[in-house]
């Protein structure tokens, strides 16, 4: 072991700084420190479709002026929820179809040939969605308490997970070379993310999409980060007056979603989340457009 100066390594222990580490360990600590620098940089979306985001904002304002409230669409609420739960679970690998998801949620059905875990998964995500809508109806902003409560509901039956509690161990993403932050930094990073979102002055769609990216990058829980993050995405959108957003759950849609996350996570200096902003905006374009059409038909 060669003479080392580890004084600049924030994540080396006191023992390691005093006695040294292997070359492999030093390389890991330096890589970790460099990668975690990404959380010092605010997320941005310089290359997103600004015109689309602005148009959606204008349409949302028109809908609001005519009484549209995404939390009071009782006539389609169950349809919106079932679609959201199905797509969110599908991204996690759940094999229940849209129809089967509806049967489980609306009729408490048991689908032959499908594992119990998949039934419990959609029930838990639905509980988290209901909780989120109730928070929006009450005017509750995104907070650490709300995040933990949503995770508690969404992850109730997950193995290797403590629902409603931040992770206590170091996690790694098998498909990515980017290392999530150490568990000791998670509470601080979550507080910082929530504070950033509360002060963000950009369009609500952009803020919600960027929040989602940073949340997934922090990876605050042992498991259930994806489903919790997508509920929070709709939480922020609905709080701003938009409908809940269901991401495309076909093979191409899921691939595009994960590419958007991966490109952001790897962009340590620029933190460009334009791809996710565009993905969310295009999904909202359909649902907002449908409501605009309904408004035009009602006025004609």
Write out the binding residues for ATP. Answer: 223-230, 257-258
The residues, ordered by sequence, that sit 6+ positions from 119 with a Cβ below 8 Å of its Cβ are 96, 104, 110, 111
Q: How many CA atoms lie within 13 A of 275 on its CB side?
A: 16
Nearest to 167, CA basis, from 184, 179, 153: 184
In whole angstroms, give the CA distance from residue 161 to residue 149. 14
Cβ atoms of 276 and 213 within 8 Å: the answer is: yes
Going from the C-alpha of 240 to that of each of 63, 70, 83, 275, the distances in angstroms are 12, 9, 20, 21
Per the residue annotation, which of 86, 119, 212, 219 is the catalytic one? Answer: 219
Q: First-to-last CA distance in the chain?
A: 81
Annotation marks residue 219 as catalytic: yes
In whole angstroms, give the CA distance from residue 289 to residue 267. 33
Catalytic sites, residue numbers: 219
């Amino acid at each position: 072991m060669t003479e080392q100066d580890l004084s600049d390594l924030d994540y080396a222990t006191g023992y390691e700084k005093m006695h040294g580490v292997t070359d492999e360990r030093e390389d890991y600590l330096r890589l970790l420190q460099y990668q975690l620098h990404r959380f010092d940089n605010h997320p941005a979306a310089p290359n997103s479709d600004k015109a689309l985001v602005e148009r959606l904002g204008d349409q949302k304002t028109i809908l609001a002026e005519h009484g549209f409230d995404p939390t009071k669409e009782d006539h389609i609420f169950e349809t919106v929820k079932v679609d959201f739960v199905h797509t969110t679970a599908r991204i996690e690998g759940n094999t229940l179809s849209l129809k089967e998801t509806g049967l489980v949620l609306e009729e408490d059905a048991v689908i032959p040939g499908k594992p119990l875990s998949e039934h419990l998964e959609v029930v838990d995500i639905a509980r988290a969605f209901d909780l989120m809508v109730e928070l929006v109806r009450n005017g509750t902003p995104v907070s650490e308490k709300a995040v933990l409560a949503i995770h508690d509901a969404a992850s109730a039956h997950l193995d290797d997970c403590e629902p409603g509690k931040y992770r206590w161990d170091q996690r790694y993403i098998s498909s990515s070379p980017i290392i999530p932050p150490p568990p000791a930094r998670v509470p601080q990073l979550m507080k910082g993310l929530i504070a950033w979102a509360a002060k963000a002055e950009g369009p609500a769609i952009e803020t919600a999409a960027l929040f989602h990216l940073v949340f997934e990058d922090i990876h605050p829980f042992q498991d259930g980060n994806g489903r919790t993050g997508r509920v929070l995405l709709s939480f922020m959108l609905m709080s701003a007056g938009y409908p809940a957003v269901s991401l495309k759950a076909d093979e191409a849609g899921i691939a595009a979603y994960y590419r958007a996350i991966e490109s952001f996570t790897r962009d340590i200096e620029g933190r460009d989340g334009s791809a996710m902003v565009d993905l969310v905006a295009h999904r909202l374009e359909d649902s907002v457009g449908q409501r605009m059409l309904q408004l035009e038909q009602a006025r004609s």
